[in-house]
Structure 1
Amino acid sequence: MIVELSHRIVEGMITYPGVPGPTLGVHLSREDSRKVYAEGTEFHIGVITLAANTGTYVDTPHHRYPDGPDLSQVPVDKLADLPGLVVRAGAGREVRIGGDLDVRGRAVLIHTGWDRHFGTDAYQHGHPYLAPESAAWLAEQGAALVGIDSLNIDDTPPHGERPAHSILLKAGIPLVEHLTGLAALPDEGFRFHAAPPMVSGMGTFPVRAYAVVA
């Protein structure tokens, strides 16, 4: 079974406050293509302009650190076909992870349920986030990737500190934010995929995140 874990990208959608929504256009319309191809043959070639942090996207170390691996440099085996683990967040905004969980080599997906607010004003305020101490624990324990179904893996106060980003990306652990559909996954027993295109010089990009459940 394949479980979809990404938000649909549509014209003008707002993912994060201050980040513009995407615009969709046409490079070659079906009507114009009829002038180029044989009779009865037509094609459509679209154009999209979007900020890299749109929809469900991956952060690579280059997003935070100028000398960190970018989208083209992170090996695909750190982004796809990873054994997955879902951590169900409890009450409260700060999510804590630790104890005897086996996270080494796994995609650790934090299920908060905040995705239910995606596309509304409520999504941008009071969102759940990962405790900095838990980010450090995940790095120490060798998690392969960390994802969350919330606005940000960090709290987003006005002073702009981002400890979870800093800790995890420094350790070479990609992050996937704005996931959805984690409620449909078992706690484990699935493979997680979230590979972006290989764009040189960029640190973030939308992904088609999904899980294959055994």
Structure 2
Amino acid sequence: MRMIDLSSPVDAQGWEPETLSHEVITPAEGARHMAEEMSKHFGVEFDPEVLDDGELLSIDTLTLTTHTGTHIDAPAHYGTRASYREGPPRTIDELPLEWFHRPAVVLDLTDAEPGAVGADRIRSELDQLGRELNPLDIVLLHTGADQHAGTEKFFTHFTGLDGPATHLLLDLGVKVIGTDAFSLDAPFGDMLARYRDTGDRSVLWPAHFAGRDREFCQIERLAHLDRLPRDGFTLSCFPVKIAGAGAGWTRAVALIDEPDEPDAREESPA
């Protein structure tokens, strides 16, 4: 089995619209910190110099949102109401694991302009697969936006889905839709411009707001979808279990079965 990492890194050196900081306590600082904490809380005196090189363990402290890097939006991210169930929409820790280890397909949207594609384009891409989707199959949208990851352009130039395109996939039993773009919706500027021109509120975040009436998840900020076949692989993308959260980070990995190599020692038939 071949594994392909589809995750973008959490990188404090790249440009992000929200706060992202990464502070590192070195192994030497960690040793001194441990000695101070042992003395303060337990009255145990310990000299870190007795350790090899005076080092213990490093400690990383990050400040970030759950929407930094490759992550999964839970139904609770889309709003406080859920017309499809009693009670509030589910948070990331409440979702079934079966949604996140499934056969997946890739739809190629790399030629689409920044904005939103419609249901006709998605149906055309699905037709090229040569098979119908099964319930719970994961659909990945290859837009090529990940080439701009770490820059401001990543957040302003990408292709998303409009409302009918989103509902088309949900009608086919899809529960997880992934994209290599910043958002499953069109860029903010594109949506707001169309709203100002038309006064039509349905153009504002339709892919996200579909989740108020249909329970599903989005994977945003994937990477390397160009390395995948259109079909014939499994996506493993379990979200981090954050109690009560509207999203959770994931290490998304494609699992591709490789055919067995023929045994070179095997004799050819006469």
The two structures share one fold, judged by TM-score above 0.5: yes
Structure label with greater radius of gyration? 2
Q: Which residue of 2 aligns with 1:185?
A: 228
Amino acid at match of 1:193: S
Deviation readout 1:65-84 (Å, 9 max, x if unpaired): 321110110111112x2101
The whole-number CA distance in structure 2 between the counterparts of 1:168 and 1:102 is 23
State the 4+ residue runs in structure 1 displaced beyond 4 angstroms: 33-38
* Residue 148 of structure 2 is aligned to residue 98 of structure 1: no
Larger mean CA deviation between 85-94 and 64-73 belongs to: 85-94
2:93 match: secondary structure: coil
Task: Name the aligned partner's letter for residue 183 of structure 1.
Answer: D
Displacement of 1:12: 5.0
CA offset digits 1:80-112 (Å, max 9, x no partner): x21010111153233331254623321100001
Partners of 2:14 and 2:151 in 1: how far apart?
Answer: 10
Are residue 171 (structure 1) and residue 214 (structure 2) matched?
A: yes
Would the aligned equivalents of 1:129 and 1:152 in 2 still touch at CA under 8 Å?
A: yes
Gaps of 5+ in 1: none
Per the alignment, residue 54 of structure 1 pairs with: 68
Q: State TM-score, norm by structure 2.
A: 0.70
Tell me the distance in 1 between the aligned counterparts of 2:138 and 2:123.
Answer: 15
Match of 1:76 among 97, 100, 104: 97
Secondary structure of the corresponding residue to residue 105 of structure 1: coil
Distance 1:92 1:85 in 2: 18
Instruction: Report which of the two has the higher share of helix.
Output: 2
In the alignment, what sits opposite 1:4? 5
SS at 2:167's partner residue?
helix
Distance 2:180 2:20 in 1: 19
More strand by share: 1
Residues 29-38 or 63-72, more deviating:
29-38
* Contact persistence 1:11–1:24 (CA under 8 A): no
User: Cα RMSD over matched residues?
Assistant: 2.5
Aligned-residue sequence identity (percent) comes to 24
Q: Give the whole-Å Cα distance in 1 for the aligned partners of 2:205 and 2:10.
A: 26
Asked if structure 2 preserves the Cα contact closer than 8 Å seen for 1:108 and 1:147, the reply is yes
Secondary structure of the residue that 2:122 maps to in structure 1? Answer: coil
1:126, distance to aligned residue in structure 2 (A): 3.0
How far is 1:143 from its partner? 0.7
* Structure 2 residues without counterparts, runs of 5 or longer: 36-45, 81-87, 196-202, 258-270
- Change over 3 Å in CA distance of 1:43–1:90 after alignment to 2: closer
Kindly indicate whether residue 106 of structure 2 is the aligned counterpart of residue 86 of structure 1: yes
